[in-house]
Amino acid sequence: MSEGRHRRPTRLRGFSLAFVVVGIGFVVPVACPRVATAAEAIVSVAVRAKARRAAQDGEACFARGDLPGALAAFVQSATLFPMPSTLRDVARTLDALGRIREAVAAYDAYIAACGTAYAAERETAGRRALVLRASPGHMTLRGSPGETRVTVDGAGIYEGLPLELDLAPGEHVLRLEARGFGSQDVVLVVDYASTMTPAVDLEADAPRPMVPIIEVGRAEPVALPVAVVVQAGPTMVAAERSWAREHTAGLFLAGLAAGAFTVAGVFGAQSLKAQRGFATHPSADAADRGERAGFISDCAIGVGAFLAAASVAFLLPSREAPPTARVYFTPFIGVSAFGATGEF
Protein backbone atom coordinates (compact mmCIF):
# COMPACT_ATOMS: atom_id res chain seq x y z
CA MET A 1 0.00 0.00 0.00
CA SER A 2 2.72 2.42 0.85
CA GLU A 3 4.57 1.74 -2.39
CA GLY A 4 1.42 2.30 -4.53
CA ARG A 5 0.63 5.54 -2.85
CA HIS A 6 4.10 6.82 -3.69
CA ARG A 7 4.02 5.76 -7.39
CA ARG A 8 0.68 7.38 -8.44
CA PRO A 9 1.69 10.99 -7.61
CA THR A 10 4.89 10.47 -9.63
CA ARG A 11 2.93 9.49 -12.76
CA LEU A 12 0.54 12.43 -12.24
CA ARG A 13 3.38 14.92 -11.89
CA GLY A 14 5.00 13.64 -15.09
CA PHE A 15 1.73 13.92 -16.97
CA SER A 16 1.16 17.46 -15.65
CA LEU A 17 4.66 18.55 -16.70
CA ALA A 18 4.16 17.20 -20.21
CA PHE A 19 0.81 18.97 -20.44
CA VAL A 20 2.41 22.26 -19.41
CA VAL A 21 5.21 21.89 -22.01
CA VAL A 22 2.73 21.14 -24.77
CA GLY A 23 0.60 24.10 -23.72
CA ILE A 24 3.54 26.44 -23.81
CA GLY A 25 4.39 25.17 -27.30
CA PHE A 26 0.92 26.16 -28.49
CA VAL A 27 0.64 29.43 -26.60
CA VAL A 28 4.05 30.99 -27.28
CA PRO A 29 3.77 31.19 -31.11
CA VAL A 30 0.38 32.83 -30.75
CA ALA A 31 1.29 35.18 -27.92
CA CYS A 32 4.73 36.38 -29.10
CA PRO A 33 3.57 38.40 -32.17
CA ARG A 34 0.93 40.07 -30.07
CA VAL A 35 3.46 40.90 -27.40
CA ALA A 36 5.81 42.32 -30.06
CA THR A 37 2.99 44.33 -31.58
CA ALA A 38 2.09 45.70 -28.18
CA ALA A 39 5.73 46.66 -27.56
CA GLU A 40 5.94 48.36 -30.93
CA ALA A 41 2.74 50.23 -30.20
CA ILE A 42 4.15 51.44 -26.88
CA VAL A 43 7.35 52.60 -28.62
CA SER A 44 5.35 54.24 -31.42
CA VAL A 45 3.26 56.14 -28.93
CA ALA A 46 6.41 57.39 -27.23
CA VAL A 47 7.99 58.42 -30.53
CA ARG A 48 4.82 60.19 -31.62
CA ALA A 49 4.68 62.04 -28.36
CA LYS A 50 8.30 63.17 -28.76
CA ALA A 51 7.68 64.21 -32.39
CA ARG A 52 4.55 66.14 -31.29
CA ARG A 53 6.55 68.00 -28.61
CA ALA A 54 9.25 68.87 -31.19
CA ALA A 55 6.58 70.20 -33.57
CA GLN A 56 5.09 72.31 -30.77
CA ASP A 57 8.54 73.71 -29.99
CA GLY A 58 8.95 74.56 -33.69
CA GLU A 59 5.64 76.40 -33.77
CA ALA A 60 6.65 78.40 -30.69
CA CYS A 61 10.00 79.33 -32.24
CA PHE A 62 8.30 80.29 -35.51
CA ALA A 63 5.81 82.50 -33.66
CA ARG A 64 8.55 84.46 -31.88
CA GLY A 65 10.64 84.83 -35.06
CA ASP A 66 13.33 82.25 -34.28
CA LEU A 67 13.31 80.72 -37.75
CA PRO A 68 16.53 78.64 -37.41
CA GLY A 69 15.26 77.17 -34.13
CA ALA A 70 11.86 76.48 -35.69
CA LEU A 71 13.48 74.72 -38.64
CA ALA A 72 15.60 72.52 -36.38
CA ALA A 73 12.56 71.53 -34.31
CA PHE A 74 10.40 70.79 -37.36
CA VAL A 75 13.15 68.71 -38.95
CA GLN A 76 13.53 66.72 -35.71
CA SER A 77 9.79 66.10 -35.60
CA ALA A 78 9.71 64.99 -39.26
CA THR A 79 12.66 62.69 -38.65
CA LEU A 80 11.04 61.02 -35.64
CA PHE A 81 7.60 60.61 -37.14
CA PRO A 82 7.04 62.06 -40.64
CA MET A 83 3.62 63.63 -40.96
CA PRO A 84 2.31 65.76 -43.85
CA SER A 85 1.70 68.66 -41.48
CA THR A 86 5.31 68.57 -40.28
CA LEU A 87 6.59 68.58 -43.88
CA ARG A 88 4.39 71.59 -44.55
CA ASP A 89 5.90 73.37 -41.53
CA VAL A 90 9.42 72.59 -42.78
CA ALA A 91 8.56 74.02 -46.23
CA ARG A 92 6.98 77.12 -44.72
CA THR A 93 10.04 77.77 -42.55
CA LEU A 94 12.48 77.31 -45.44
CA ASP A 95 10.35 79.69 -47.49
CA ALA A 96 10.54 82.31 -44.72
CA LEU A 97 14.31 81.87 -44.49
CA GLY A 98 14.68 82.57 -48.25
CA ARG A 99 16.05 79.11 -49.02
CA ILE A 100 13.88 78.91 -52.10
CA ARG A 101 15.13 75.76 -53.79
CA GLU A 102 14.93 73.75 -50.54
CA ALA A 103 11.47 75.18 -49.86
CA VAL A 104 10.25 74.02 -53.29
CA ALA A 105 11.56 70.51 -52.61
CA ALA A 106 9.81 70.49 -49.21
CA TYR A 107 6.50 71.67 -50.74
CA ASP A 108 6.74 68.90 -53.36
CA ALA A 109 7.39 66.33 -50.60
CA TYR A 110 4.38 67.62 -48.65
CA ILE A 111 2.10 67.35 -51.69
CA ALA A 112 3.30 63.80 -52.35
CA ALA A 113 2.79 62.80 -48.69
CA CYS A 114 -0.78 64.10 -48.68
CA GLY A 115 -1.82 61.78 -51.49
CA THR A 116 -5.45 62.48 -52.28
CA ALA A 117 -6.27 64.01 -48.88
CA TYR A 118 -6.11 67.68 -47.88
CA ALA A 119 -7.06 68.96 -51.34
CA ALA A 120 -7.21 72.62 -50.30
CA GLU A 121 -3.85 72.48 -48.50
CA ARG A 122 -2.23 70.71 -51.45
CA GLU A 123 -3.52 73.35 -53.86
CA THR A 124 -2.18 76.15 -51.64
CA ALA A 125 1.24 74.49 -51.41
CA GLY A 126 1.33 73.89 -55.19
CA ARG A 127 0.57 77.54 -55.94
CA ARG A 128 3.32 78.68 -53.57
CA ALA A 129 5.82 76.27 -55.14
CA LEU A 130 4.88 77.60 -58.59
CA VAL A 131 5.53 81.17 -57.43
CA LEU A 132 8.90 80.18 -56.00
CA ARG A 133 9.87 78.45 -59.25
CA ALA A 134 9.50 81.83 -60.99
CA SER A 135 12.12 83.42 -58.70
CA PRO A 136 14.94 85.04 -60.71
CA GLY A 137 18.49 83.78 -60.74
CA HIS A 138 21.40 86.03 -59.80
CA MET A 139 24.26 86.45 -62.28
CA THR A 140 27.66 88.04 -61.71
CA LEU A 141 29.31 88.47 -65.12
CA ARG A 142 33.09 88.90 -65.06
CA GLY A 143 35.66 89.25 -67.82
CA SER A 144 37.70 91.72 -69.79
CA PRO A 145 37.99 94.46 -70.87
CA GLY A 146 36.36 96.39 -68.07
CA GLU A 147 34.60 98.84 -70.44
CA THR A 148 32.62 96.09 -72.15
CA ARG A 149 29.05 96.92 -73.13
CA VAL A 150 26.54 94.13 -72.40
CA THR A 151 23.21 93.86 -74.21
CA VAL A 152 20.71 91.41 -72.66
CA ASP A 153 18.14 89.86 -74.98
CA GLY A 154 18.59 92.73 -77.45
CA ALA A 155 16.99 95.26 -75.10
CA GLY A 156 18.77 95.96 -71.81
CA ILE A 157 22.16 97.71 -72.21
CA TYR A 158 24.69 97.79 -69.38
CA GLU A 159 28.14 99.35 -69.30
CA GLY A 160 31.22 97.86 -67.67
CA LEU A 161 32.31 94.62 -66.02
CA PRO A 162 31.81 93.02 -63.56
CA LEU A 163 28.03 93.17 -63.93
CA GLU A 164 25.53 91.89 -61.37
CA LEU A 165 22.07 91.17 -62.69
CA ASP A 166 18.92 89.25 -61.76
CA LEU A 167 17.50 87.24 -64.67
CA ALA A 168 14.19 85.39 -64.94
CA PRO A 169 14.36 81.60 -65.31
CA GLY A 170 14.91 80.54 -68.89
CA GLU A 171 17.30 81.19 -71.78
CA HIS A 172 18.93 84.59 -72.26
CA VAL A 173 21.29 85.90 -74.96
CA LEU A 174 24.04 88.31 -73.90
CA ARG A 175 26.01 90.27 -76.49
CA LEU A 176 29.35 91.67 -75.33
CA GLU A 177 31.07 94.46 -77.27
CA ALA A 178 34.05 96.75 -76.68
CA ARG A 179 35.96 99.19 -78.85
CA GLY A 180 39.08 97.56 -80.22
CA PHE A 181 37.77 94.08 -79.41
CA GLY A 182 35.60 91.59 -81.22
CA SER A 183 31.99 91.07 -80.17
CA GLN A 184 30.74 87.80 -78.68
CA ASP A 185 27.30 86.31 -78.02
CA VAL A 186 26.78 84.23 -74.88
CA VAL A 187 23.69 82.06 -74.22
CA LEU A 188 22.81 81.59 -70.54
CA VAL A 189 20.22 79.11 -69.27
CA VAL A 190 19.10 80.45 -65.88
CA ASP A 191 17.45 78.19 -63.30
CA TYR A 192 15.13 79.59 -60.63
CA ALA A 193 16.79 81.01 -57.50
CA SER A 194 20.20 80.01 -58.85
CA THR A 195 23.54 81.81 -58.63
CA MET A 196 25.97 81.84 -61.55
CA THR A 197 29.31 83.56 -62.17
CA PRO A 198 30.17 83.33 -65.89
CA ALA A 199 33.41 84.86 -67.20
CA VAL A 200 33.94 86.11 -70.77
CA ASP A 201 37.18 87.62 -72.12
CA LEU A 202 36.87 89.37 -75.46
CA GLU A 203 39.69 88.95 -77.97
CA ALA A 204 41.42 92.03 -79.31
CA ASP A 205 40.87 92.87 -82.98
CA ALA A 206 43.72 92.02 -85.34
CA PRO A 207 45.66 95.14 -86.47
CA ARG A 208 44.54 96.39 -89.84
CA PRO A 209 47.19 96.23 -92.61
CA MET A 210 48.62 99.52 -93.79
CA VAL A 211 47.59 100.50 -97.32
CA PRO A 212 50.77 100.93 -99.39
CA ILE A 213 51.19 104.24 -101.23
CA ILE A 214 52.76 103.83 -104.66
CA GLU A 215 53.91 106.94 -106.54
CA VAL A 216 53.57 106.60 -110.30
CA GLY A 217 54.94 109.11 -112.79
CA ARG A 218 57.39 110.85 -110.45
CA ALA A 219 59.46 113.33 -112.55
CA GLU A 220 63.21 113.09 -112.60
CA PRO A 221 65.36 116.19 -112.02
CA VAL A 222 65.83 118.25 -115.20
CA ALA A 223 69.44 118.75 -116.40
CA LEU A 224 69.86 121.47 -119.00
CA PRO A 225 70.34 121.44 -121.96
CA VAL A 226 69.74 117.65 -122.33
CA ALA A 227 66.51 115.92 -123.08
CA VAL A 228 64.53 114.54 -120.09
CA VAL A 229 62.15 111.58 -120.16
CA VAL A 230 59.24 112.10 -117.71
CA GLN A 231 56.74 109.35 -116.81
CA ALA A 232 53.25 110.55 -117.67
CA GLY A 233 50.16 110.23 -115.51
CA PRO A 234 49.14 111.67 -112.11
CA THR A 235 50.22 110.22 -108.78
CA MET A 236 47.76 107.61 -107.59
CA VAL A 237 47.23 105.41 -104.53
CA ALA A 238 46.94 101.73 -105.42
CA ALA A 239 45.39 99.38 -102.90
CA GLU A 240 46.35 95.74 -102.76
CA ARG A 241 44.25 93.45 -104.88
CA SER A 242 44.45 89.72 -104.70
CA TRP A 243 45.73 87.78 -107.68
CA ALA A 244 42.64 85.61 -107.74
CA ARG A 245 40.30 88.62 -107.92
CA GLU A 246 42.24 90.10 -110.86
CA HIS A 247 42.13 86.82 -112.77
CA THR A 248 38.57 85.67 -112.04
CA ALA A 249 37.68 85.13 -115.69
CA GLY A 250 40.83 83.12 -116.36
CA LEU A 251 40.29 80.90 -113.34
CA PHE A 252 36.66 80.33 -114.30
CA LEU A 253 37.65 79.26 -117.82
CA ALA A 254 40.38 77.03 -116.41
CA GLY A 255 37.81 75.30 -114.21
CA LEU A 256 35.53 74.72 -117.20
CA ALA A 257 38.49 73.32 -119.15
CA ALA A 258 39.29 70.91 -116.34
CA GLY A 259 35.65 69.75 -116.30
CA ALA A 260 35.72 69.21 -120.07
CA PHE A 261 38.91 67.14 -119.85
CA THR A 262 37.34 65.09 -117.05
CA VAL A 263 34.32 64.34 -119.25
CA ALA A 264 36.66 63.43 -122.09
CA GLY A 265 38.55 61.01 -119.86
CA VAL A 266 35.37 59.32 -118.60
CA PHE A 267 33.86 58.79 -122.05
CA GLY A 268 37.27 57.82 -123.47
CA ALA A 269 37.50 55.06 -120.90
CA GLN A 270 33.96 53.92 -121.81
CA SER A 271 34.93 53.88 -125.50
CA LEU A 272 38.00 51.73 -124.82
CA LYS A 273 35.90 49.35 -122.73
CA ALA A 274 33.34 49.07 -125.51
CA GLN A 275 36.11 48.35 -128.04
CA ARG A 276 37.49 45.55 -125.87
CA GLY A 277 34.01 44.11 -125.51
CA PHE A 278 33.50 44.31 -129.28
CA ALA A 279 36.79 42.46 -129.82
CA THR A 280 35.64 39.54 -127.65
CA HIS A 281 31.87 39.63 -128.47
CA PRO A 282 31.23 41.56 -131.69
CA SER A 283 27.80 43.18 -131.80
CA ALA A 284 26.16 46.25 -133.28
CA ASP A 285 25.21 47.52 -129.83
CA ALA A 286 28.82 47.37 -128.61
CA ALA A 287 30.02 49.14 -131.75
CA ASP A 288 27.43 51.91 -131.31
CA ARG A 289 28.35 52.44 -127.67
CA GLY A 290 32.06 52.65 -128.50
CA GLU A 291 31.52 55.12 -131.35
CA ARG A 292 29.15 57.28 -129.29
CA ALA A 293 31.52 57.40 -126.30
CA GLY A 294 34.49 58.15 -128.58
CA PHE A 295 32.61 61.00 -130.28
CA ILE A 296 31.68 62.59 -126.92
CA SER A 297 35.27 62.20 -125.72
CA ASP A 298 36.64 63.90 -128.84
CA CYS A 299 34.18 66.79 -128.51
CA ALA A 300 35.04 67.26 -124.85
CA ILE A 301 38.77 67.32 -125.68
CA GLY A 302 38.19 70.01 -128.27
CA VAL A 303 36.07 72.14 -125.92
CA GLY A 304 38.61 71.68 -123.11
CA ALA A 305 41.50 72.72 -125.35
CA PHE A 306 39.65 75.86 -126.44
CA LEU A 307 38.77 76.80 -122.86
CA ALA A 308 42.33 76.10 -121.67
CA ALA A 309 43.76 78.41 -124.36
CA ALA A 310 41.29 81.13 -123.43
CA SER A 311 42.13 80.84 -119.72
CA VAL A 312 45.86 81.12 -120.47
CA ALA A 313 45.20 84.33 -122.40
CA PHE A 314 43.35 85.78 -119.42
CA LEU A 315 45.92 84.62 -116.86
CA LEU A 316 49.01 85.98 -118.65
CA PRO A 317 50.28 89.24 -117.06
CA SER A 318 49.85 92.47 -118.98
CA ARG A 319 53.09 93.80 -120.47
CA GLU A 320 51.86 97.25 -121.46
CA ALA A 321 54.34 99.99 -120.52
CA PRO A 322 53.07 103.29 -119.16
CA PRO A 323 53.00 106.10 -121.69
CA THR A 324 55.95 108.47 -121.66
CA ALA A 325 56.44 112.07 -122.66
CA ARG A 326 59.69 113.64 -123.86
CA VAL A 327 60.57 117.22 -122.90
CA TYR A 328 63.41 119.19 -124.53
CA PHE A 329 64.88 122.36 -122.97
CA THR A 330 67.02 124.88 -124.93
CA PRO A 331 68.68 127.77 -123.08
CA PHE A 332 69.04 131.21 -124.71
CA ILE A 333 70.69 134.56 -123.83
CA GLY A 334 69.49 137.84 -125.34
CA VAL A 335 70.35 141.55 -125.05
CA SER A 336 67.60 142.25 -122.53
CA ALA A 337 66.67 138.79 -121.28
CA PHE A 338 67.84 135.22 -120.87
CA GLY A 339 66.04 131.91 -120.19
CA ALA A 340 65.11 128.61 -121.81
CA THR A 341 62.51 127.26 -124.16
CA GLY A 342 60.81 123.88 -123.83
CA GLU A 343 59.49 121.50 -126.44
CA PHE A 344 57.15 118.46 -125.89
Q: What is the CATH number of the domain that holds 30?
A: 1.25.40.10
Number of domains in the chain: 3
**166: confidence class by pLDDT, cuts 50, 70, 90:** very high
Task: Give mean pLDDT, residues 85-92.
Answer: 91
| Whether residue 217 has pLDDT greater than 50 | no
| Whether residue 139 has pLDDT greater than 60 | yes
Same domain (yes/no): 16, 79: yes
Same domain (yes/no): 79, 159: no
How far is the C-alpha of 13 from the C-alpha of 22, rounded, in Å?
14
Task: Give mean pLDDT, residues 57-74.
Answer: 93
Same domain (yes/no): 151, 128: no
Same domain (yes/no): 129, 151: no
Q: Which of 255, 269, 266 is nearest to 315 (CA)?
A: 255
Same domain (yes/no): 55, 93: yes
**316: confidence class by pLDDT, cuts 50, 70, 90:** confident
The pTM of this model reads: 0.48
Residue 33, in any domain of the structure = yes
Read off the DSSP letter of residue 204.
B
Output the pLDDT for position 42.
55
**207: confidence class by pLDDT, cuts 50, 70, 90:** low
The mean predicted confidence, pLDDT, of the chain is 75
Query: What would the pLDDT profile of 91-114 be if each residue is shown by its tens digit?
Result: 999 999 999 999 999 999 999 988
Output the pLDDT for position 167.
92
Contacts by 252-257 with C-beta closer than 8 Å and gap 24+? 252/311, 253/307, 253/308, 253/310, 253/311, 253/314, 254/307, 254/308, 254/311, 254/315, 256/307, 257/304, 257/305, 257/307, 257/308, 257/311
More confident residue, 237 or 96: 96
More confident residue, 297 or 73: 73
Task: Give mean pLDDT, residues 26-39.
Answer: 47
Output the pLDDT for position 49.
87
Q: Which helix (H) or strand (E) holds 172?
A: strand 170-178
Same domain (yes/no): 126, 150: no
Same domain (yes/no): 11, 110: yes
Same domain (yes/no): 37, 154: no
Same domain (yes/no): 76, 141: no
Residue 328, in any domain of the structure = no
Percentage of the chain lying above the pLDDT 70 cut = 67
Same domain (yes/no): 14, 86: yes
Output the pLDDT for position 170.
93
Same domain (yes/no): 264, 310: yes
Domain C-terminal end among 77, 107, 133: 133
| Whether residue 168 has pLDDT greater than 90 | yes
| Whether residue 177 has pLDDT greater than 60 | yes
Q: What is the CATH number of the domain that holds 156?
A: 2.60.40.1120
Query: What residue numbers bound the domain in which 293 lies?
Result: 234-315
| Whether residue 58 has pLDDT greater than 80 | yes
